[in-house]
Structure 1
Amino acid sequence: MSSERTYHHGDLRRAVLNAALDVIRTEGPSAVRLRDLARRAGVSHAAPAHHFKDRTGLLTAIAAEGYELLAQALSKAPDLRERGVAYVRFALDRPAHFQVMFQPDLYRGDDPALLAAKELASAELHAGVTTLDASPDPRTAGIAAWSLAHGFATLLLTHNLDDPVGDRDPADVFRSLAGLLFAPAAG
């Protein structure tokens, strides 16, 4: 028949992750408490620890999932500019993941799943640089591109660009910004 875990909850891990993402989205990562998440998921207060051990383990899982999702989003973009757009859209669509991913003090930086996910995302970010005209320093170009996308996404999420962007699609605004700094490879 069904296991005890299935009896109590069909997918406790996912339910706790989703509850944590909701808390982070509305209140920030500092508001995440395993007991509260257990209550939200309708399980015993000890149940989330079975999957995540502790709060840091939970936030590590969120960061790893975020990097995996970011890598997937970036892999679908054909060039550097569109990878930047994918990065911005990822941040806007998944602000809780984005917030945790770039606060390394929240998670275990040596976690193997996290390291693998970060490597995937990094490879996808760097792959976009190959679409540029010959750059004297591809590594620096990659840092510049990432800085532009990350900075723009962060400024959007913190509402610092509400007036300058206005009603325009943030993706179109980002494309314009990227066009000022990066030219596609001739070809």
Structure 2
Amino acid sequence: MTSQRPYHHGNLRRAVLAAALDVIAADGPSALSLRDLARRAGVSHAAPAHHFTDRTGLLTAIATEGHILLTQTLADAQDLRDLGARYVRFAIQHPAHFQVMFRPELLRTDDPALVAAREGTAQRLRKGVAARGGTDLELAFMSAWSLAHGFATLLLAGNLDRPLGDRDPEEVFRAVAGLPFAPPPPPSRRPDATS
């Protein structure tokens, strides 16, 4: 007779996701183990597989949830700078999701739920870029996304701690975002040499 613990848990899926997010936030996605997560949730080692099949399935579920949360965070953005600032806010509030969402080597990229969630995020970002206007929307989309994603990635890795100091990262992003798209200042006029 085996001494397996019975599978009884109110919301095992949510419990495993929450434990996984804690592990990722502390130690990164490479530290994830379904067996360890089952232990943390107080269920048999096989129980998480009922919801996620394997580690890749779990990470795909986290990425899907992350894209849904990101789309919600971006929903009420007032303009392109606000959209970028909200992107940075999402990364700060959901660092574990952010670490997983853009790592295709960790995910089942063809998972229908993930594909739909990613499309929701992309549509919201493209809508914000399109509202700004311009001729090449795809280049503008790549530029805006690169700026927000790069800022968020540097921020989460601690690379902006010193330059930011005590300033609000969202407000700093708004200022930074204005620099590449601002018209250059007019050339300074040198006094006329004949006067």
Query: Could you tell me how far 1:103 is from its partner in structure 2?
Result: 0.8
- Aligned residue in 1 for 2:170: 171
- Moved segments of 4+, more than 2 Å: none
What residue identity is the alignment partner of 2:137?
P
- Aligned residue in 2 for 1:104: 104
What residue identity is the alignment partner of 1:158?
A
What is the Cα-based RMSD across aligned positions, in Å?
Answer: 1.2
What residue identity is the alignment partner of 2:150?
G
What residue identity is the alignment partner of 2:160?
L
- Aligned residue in 2 for 1:58: 58
Q: Distance in 2 between matches of 1:136 and 1:102?
A: 27
Q: Distance in 1 between matches of 2:79 and 2:42?
A: 45
| Correspondence 1:35-184 to 2 at 5 A | 35-132=35-132, 134-182=133-181
Q: Distance in 2 between matches of 1:70 and 1:77?
A: 12
The percent of aligned pairs where both chains have the same amino acid is: 67
Query: Could you tell me how far 1:76 is from its partner in structure 2?
Result: 1.8
Query: Could you tell me how far 1:79 is from its partner in structure 2?
Result: 1.2
1:68-111 CA distances to partner (integer Å, 9 max, x unpaired)?
Answer: 11111111212111110110000011010000001110010000
Query: Could you tell me how far 1:135 is from its partner in structure 2?
Result: 1.3
Q: Distance in 2 between matches of 1:182 and 1:99?
A: 28
- Aligned residue in 1 for 2:186: none
1:154-181 CA distances to partner (integer Å, 9 max, x unpaired)?
Answer: 0000011111111000011000011123
What residue identity is the alignment partner of 1:51?
H
TM-score (norm 2): 0.88
Gaps of 5+ in 2: 1-5, 183-195
Gaps of 5+ in 1: none
- Aligned residue in 1 for 2:30: 30
Aligned length: 177
Q: Classify the secondary structure of the residue corresponding to 2:131.
A: coil
Q: Distance in 1 between matches of 2:25 and 2:104?
A: 18
- Aligned residue in 2 for 1:11: 11
Query: Could you tell me how far 1:138 is from its partner in structure 2?
Result: 1.3
What residue identity is the alignment partner of 1:16?
V
Query: Could you tell me how far 1:26 is from its partner in structure 2?
Result: 0.3
What residue identity is the alignment partner of 2:118?
K
